Amino acid sequence: MKNIFIIGVGLIGGSFALDFKKLYPEATIYGIDNNEAHLDEAVKLGVVDHKAVLNDVSKADLVILAIPVDATLNVLPSVLNGIKDDAIVFDAGSTKEDICAAVKKHPKRRNYLAVHPIAGTEYSGPSAAIHGLYHNKTNIICEVEETAFKLQEKALKLFLDLGMRIRYMNPKAHDKHIAYVSHLSHISSFMLGKTVIEKERNERDIFDMAGSGFESTVRLAKSSPAMWAPIFQQNKTNVIETLDEYITNLKHFKTLMENENFEAVYKEMETANRIKEILNGIQ
Amino acid sequence: MKNIFIIGVGLIGGSFALDFKKLYPEATIYGIDNNEAHLDEAVKLGVVDHKAVLNDVSKADLVILAIPVDATLNVLPSVLNGIKDDAIVFDAGSTKEDICAAVKKHPKRRNYLAVHPIAGTEYSGPSAAIHGLYHNKTNIICEVEETAFKLQEKALKLFLDLGMRIRYMNPKAHDKHIAYVSHLSHISSFMLGKTVIEKERNERDIFDMAGSGFESTVRLAKSSPAMWAPIFQQNKTNVIETLDEYITNLKHFKTLMENENFEAVYKEMETANRIKEILNGIQ
């Protein structure tokens, strides 16, 4: 693992860079980004060693794409065109179906591994990159059988070195379930933020009344629209389905309140309380 | 401050007990609770010194009510009936209008201070009580002018000793704004939990895919229904209004997605991003 290329030197790509630099001190980390300021910042912060351009991937042993999922659709085939035969390429996108479809017939398909590390924070850019972001996190790998044996093995070692848990899924199932446990959370949070900002526009000091509960539920509303708009676009059908169900549940809750049926309101919350055991189970 | 009575020895009451015990080592802390097991647990954990019953409040210097807001409507007048002339009584409920109305004409109204400490966690019961829960937290006091001067002063000192920020509001404004920055967050979280649990009922290992973002947005779905059903009941009108606006915003987001208007989806998120500065402002 001599030459590692990170395309997109933000939170996700930058955090891979920091960990790989530590794990493989002999490696050189190259950064590629269409935001020149971010690239300079990444070098300055020591997140990457050198700036590079797409053509340079011909010397890469490993290429990581950590850019918005719409950009991945275009950049991934070009990267595969340019790499040498034993290089490994993986992405880190929150959608997998469209991305896998985009390279399904690519002659270098077997150099690519479709990856979704379930890790992140609500911050973005090179300064958001942190050591150990991936430690003890779940890493979902899709269509593993489409990747060459030796490169599967190589990639697996990388993820185990990072301390990740590996889960294998097909892209369709990934996109369907991730809509529930990630994409919907982001929309609920963005719209909660919007609702409160709209209402309290002229009463800024009202936010003095907000506690840690509010902060927790609107945390994801700080997320990057440039990252999330393409995710919602690519996972449109699944996300709309989750939104439909969420809206139906909220309307039902409202109807129970309007009908003064607070016994049923109580039961609704009691059912949702089961999330306690479920969350404990995943920790 | 010799005899402090805590009615409701859970997260909120228990945390007051722990801090007051530390601040005023000479005081004796009495616990009252209609859950006998909780009361025994509170004594065992050292949250309170002794068990007591409602009639004992005649010897109290301070009484704190930290019980569900519907119970407060009944218990607060009885407590006021039983206390001596210079005792101070405050509650910690998340609604203020109905509670203030319930004691508006009580002969001992001037012994009562209507209080809402914006603090808590998603846990409940005596074992959830923690030291320092109120440090650097906002404490909203309503109708302060209805409380006797000397008792206003005494209570203010208590809250400053705890390290709290004081804000004065009228009960109507309190209930309206707290619906946005607290009550709505809880419903959004409960219904998010419900939506995901319903969908993934038969696929428990799907929760392996959930990351810290999901955890953050459903954290409040662990909250106690016994505490929250009466809050929603008392603040029904305001909460329904916030729910209406939240549902409208979610439907609008869904329509934008259905119309493939992802530029507008981007802008929706960009607007909600303003929550960053607002949250920074409150810290």
Q: For the segment A184-195, what is each residue's pLDDT rounded down to a tens digit?
A: 999 999 999 999
Tokens of B15: 């945390």
Q: Is A270 exposed, middle or buried (0-12, 13-18, 19+ CB in 10 A)?
A: middle
B272–A219 CB contact, under 8 Å: no
Q: What residues of chain B lie within 8 A of the CB of A178, using their CB?
A: 209
- Annotate B37-70 with three-state secondary structure: HHHHHHHHCCCCCEECCHHHHHHCCEEEECCCHH
A195–B245 CB contact, under 8 Å: yes
Beta bridge partners of A117: A139
String of DSSP letters for chain A: --EEEEES-SHHHHHHHHHHHHH-TT-EEEEE-S-HHHHHHHHHTTS-SEE--GGGGGG-SEEEE-S-HHHHHHHHHHHHHHS-TT-EEEE--S--HHHHHHTTT-TTGGGEEEEEE----S--SGGG--TTTTTT-EEEEE-GGGS-HHHHHHHHHHHHHTTPEEEEE-HHHHHHHHIIIIIHHHHHHHHHHHHHHHHTTT-GGGGGG--HHHHHHHGGGGS-HHHHHHHHHHTHHHHHHHHHHHHHHHHHHHHHHHTT-HHHHHHHHHHHTTHHHHHHHH-
Task: Determine contact, residues A15/A133, Cβ cutoff 8 Å.
Answer: yes
A213–B220 CB contact, under 8 Å: yes
pLDDT tens, residue by residue, A35-74 = 999 999 999 999 999 999 999 999 999 999 999 999 999 9
Predicted confidence band of residue A281 (pLDDT cuts 50, 70, 90): low
Helix axes B236-258, A236-258, angle to 10 degrees: 160
ipTM of the complex: 0.93
Q: What residues of chain A lie within 8 A of the CB of B254, using their CB?
A: 240, 243-244, 247
pLDDT at A208 (0 to 100): 80
B195, closest residue in chain A (CA to CA): A246
pLDDT at B202 (0 to 100): 67
In this complex, the residue of B191, B200, B278 whose CB is nearest that of residue A253 is B191
Average confidence score pLDDT of chain A: 95
Predicted confidence band of residue A200 (pLDDT cuts 50, 70, 90): confident
CATH 3.40.50.720 segments of chain B: 3-170
Please report the sign of the dihedral spanned by the C-alpha atoms of residue A237, residue A243, residue A244, residue A245.
Answer: positive
Assess whether pLDDT exceeds 80 at residue B283: no
B182–A253 CB contact, under 8 Å: no
pLDDT at B281 (0 to 100): 60
Mean pLDDT of A173-180: 95
How far does A259 lie from chain B, in Å, by closest CA? Answer: 10
pLDDT at A282 (0 to 100): 53
In what order do the strands lie in the sheet containing A165-169? A50-51, A28-32, A3-7, A62-65, A88-91, A112-117, A138-142, A165-169
Assess whether pLDDT exceeds 90 at residue B204: no
Task: Determine contact, residues A4/A57, Cβ cutoff 8 Å.
Answer: no
Assess whether pLDDT exceeds 90 at residue A153: yes
Predicted confidence band of residue A202 (pLDDT cuts 50, 70, 90): low
Tokens of B171: 């009960």
Assess whether pLDDT exceeds 60 at residue B130: yes
Between chain A and chain B, how many beta carbons pairs sit less than 8 Å apart? 313
Average confidence score pLDDT of chain B: 95
Q: Mutate which of B269, B270, B278 to test chain A, going by most A C-beta atoms within 10 A?
A: B269
pLDDT at A127 (0 to 100): 97
Predicted confidence band of residue A225 (pLDDT cuts 50, 70, 90): very high
pTM: 0.93
Query: What's the CATH architecture for A3-170?
Result: 3-Layer(aba) Sandwich (3.40)
Assess whether pLDDT exceeds 80 at residue A203: no
pLDDT tens, residue by residue, A70-98 = 999 999 999 999 999 999 999 999 999 99
pLDDT at B210 (0 to 100): 87
Mean pLDDT of A255-274: 97
How far does A11 lie from chain B, in Å, by closest CA? Answer: 15
Q: Return the percentage of chain A with pLDDT > 90, whole number.
A: 89
Q: What residues of chain A lie within 8 A of the CB of B225, using their CB?
A: 266-267, 269-270, 273
Chosen CATH of B174-282 out of 3.10.20.30, 3.30.2000.20, 1.10.3660.10, 1.10.260.40: 1.10.3660.10
Cα separation, A276 vs A264, in Å, equals 20
CATH 1.10.3660.10 segments of chain B: 174-282
Residue of B8, B12, B256 whose CA lies nearest to B130: B12
Tokens of B2: 């010799």
Q: Read off φ and ψ for residue A115, nearest 5 degrees.
A: -130, 140
**Alpha carbon A173 to chain centroid, angstroms:** 16
**Long-range Cβ contacts of A67-70 (<8 Å, 24+ apart):** A67/A7, A67/A8, A67/A13, A68/A226, A68/A227, A68/A230, A68/A231, A69/A93, A69/A94, A69/A95, A69/A98, A69/A99, A69/A230, A69/A231, A69/A234, A70/A230, A70/A233, A70/A234
pLDDT tens, residue by residue, A27-37 = 999 999 999 99
A263, closest residue in chain B (CA to CA): B229
